[in-house]
């Protein structure tokens, strides 16, 4: 299984809350030991899945050591009611 798929599934499962309208203080990926390039790949993968209608939407909050690196949402909660 692709190395990004398992973390994506975990993040999607844990992202049961809505981030719409909320403002979060974020830090740079490198400041908490994350890779900007790899996170970009993750966001692209999820955006592509939404565009291809493989999933309705996604909400991803990436954090490490108690600091939020990014919050990203896209797509819809329900494709059928588009």
At 16-31, the pLDDT tens digits run: 444 555 677 889 999 9
Give me the residue spans of the domains in the chain.
5-11+24-74
State residue 46's pLDDT score: 92
| Residue with more model confidence, 3 or 9 | 3
Cβ-contact 74, 50 below 8 angstroms: yes
Query: pTM of the predicted model, to two decimals?
Result: 0.63
Of 62, 56, 71, 51, give the one whose Cα is nearest residue 8. Answer: 62
State residue 17's pLDDT score: 45
| Residue with more model confidence, 6 or 81 | 81
- Please tell me the distance from the alpha carbon of residue 19 to that of residue 5, in angstroms, as a whole number: 22
State residue 11's pLDDT score: 57
Query: Residue 44's Cα: distance from chain center in Å?
Result: 9
| Residue with more model confidence, 48 or 75 | 48
State residue 6's pLDDT score: 59
Cβ-contact 26, 19 below 8 angstroms: no
Cβ-contact 76, 56 below 8 angstroms: yes
């Amino acid at each position: 299984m692709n190395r990004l798929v398992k973390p994506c599934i975990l993040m999607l499962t844990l992202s049961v809350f809505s981030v719409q309208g909320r403002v979060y203080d974020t830090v740079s990926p490198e400041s908490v030991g994350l890779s900007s390039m790899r996170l970009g790949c993750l966001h692209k993968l999820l955006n592509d899945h939404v565009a291809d209608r493989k999933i309705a939407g996604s909400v991803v909050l990436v954090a490490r050591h108690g600091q939020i690196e990014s919050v990203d949402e896209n797509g819809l909660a329900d494709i059928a009611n588009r």
